[in-house]
Structure 1
Amino acid sequence: MRLGVLSDTHRKLLLADAALEQMGEIDYLLHAGDHYDDALTLAVGRNLRCKAVVGNCDFFTSGPEEEILELEGVRLLITHGHRYRVKSGYQGLLARARALEVQVVIFGHTHQPCMEKEKGIILLNPGSIGAPRGGTEATFGILEINRGIVRAHIYPVKKESLDLFLTRKEKSNF
């Protein structure tokens, strides 16, 4: 199973769609908040299954703050991370993961990509599409789950992907 992971798109839908183009075929879109509505727009536009959560910038938007998903025997927690103060460390996030007995945590909020494994729990922050920080570029994640084995990857959004996306959109308007 192949999952596309986004966070902190902040209404940069062209760039987010270019990231989806670069991801290739995915079974699910996971979005870790800021902006929840972006995830729904992207998923509907591409007919994708989607799990998304709200973040600290999702004003006047109703949606879950956490989602738990079980795929191929692997439990995942999706959260934005602001409630666990992820900008100051991952202890709160790890405590929540242990309490929920999940093996993978998808989060955002820092706008910086992160891929770590602590005490058997994979932490994946795909970074930000809409407003990368810390000298990073726009990034996204891919999570592959096969027979209970999880592989996580983070990739930059390639400029060629955006060019290709714009070219296809321009052609479809004629």
Structure 2
Amino acid sequence: MKVLIISDSHGLTKELAAIKKRHEYEVAAMIHCGDSELPADCAEMAGFYAVRGNCDYDSIYVNERIELIRDKTFYITHGHLHNVKMSLVNLHYKARETGAHIVCFGHSHEAGAEMIDGILMINPGSILLPRMRKEKTYVILSLENEDAEVTFYEVDGTKLEHMTARFRFSH
């Protein structure tokens, strides 16, 4: 199973639509971790499990979502309410409270993935304003049994092999 994860697109429509079109038929779900700065009911956001970021003003967006996608529980939030620019501790505690296997968040615009005590934490970066690197990124998460592969892509669809990370869930 594959899941598209994107965040911090900050008003981009053409790029968001292109990424969605590129991957929508290969993924089981699409997640937007906030700061789209777009109306929740616009065409570009259709089909996304989306949350509200600190730059989103459409009240339809929620601050957090818990979604069961196939057999994995995803905790989706922007991250600003968990102080993710300072530490992932608060976010990790929230993930444990919710029983999440996978956390998808943004806010810091810093692309990365790590396994913390059996919980996979993914920040897809930003397709507009990346921090700590020049590449404007999003993620395709591939899940097969207990194996996870986090593959980062540039906004134009170029795979960033050097950023690919593999993880294994343990019981």
Which category describes the TM-score, using the shorter chain as reference length?
Answer: 0.7 to 0.9
Q: Which residue identity lines up with residue 139 of structure 2 in the other structure?
A: G
Q: Which residue identity lines up with residue 80 of structure 1 in the other structure?
A: H
Indicate the structure (1 or 2) with the bigger Cα radius of gyration. 1
| Counterpart position of 2:36 | 35
| Counterpart position of 2:91 | 93
Q: Where in structure 2 are the equivalents of 1:55-134 lying within 5 Å?
A: 55-134=53-132
| Counterpart position of 1:13 | 13
Structure scoring higher RCO (CA < 8 A, sep ≥ 6) equals 1
Q: Distance in 1 between matches of 2:28 and 2:45?
A: 11
TM-score (normalised: structure 2): 0.81
Q: Which moved more, 1:66-75 or 1:20-29?
A: 20-29
TM-score (normalised: structure 1): 0.80
Q: Which residue identity lines up with residue 6 of structure 2 in the other structure?
A: L
Pairing partner for 2:139 from 119, 122, 141: 141
| Counterpart position of 1:166 | none
Q: Distance in 1 between matches of 2:122 and 2:21?
A: 20
1:82–1:109 CA contact under 8 A, matched in 2: yes
Larger proportion of helix: 1
1:56-108: CA deviation from partner (whole Å, max 9, x where unpaired): 00125331111111122211100000001000010000000111111100000
1:29–1:43 CA contact under 8 A, matched in 2: no
Q: Which moved more, 1:53-62 or 1:84-93?
A: 53-62
Q: Distance in 2 between matches of 1:153 and 1:38?
A: 28
Give the 3 Å change call, closer, same or farther, for CA 20–10 of structure 1 in structure 2: same
1:84-138: CA deviation from partner (whole Å, max 9, x where unpaired): 1000010000000111111100000011101111111100010001222223321
Identity of aligned residues (%): 31
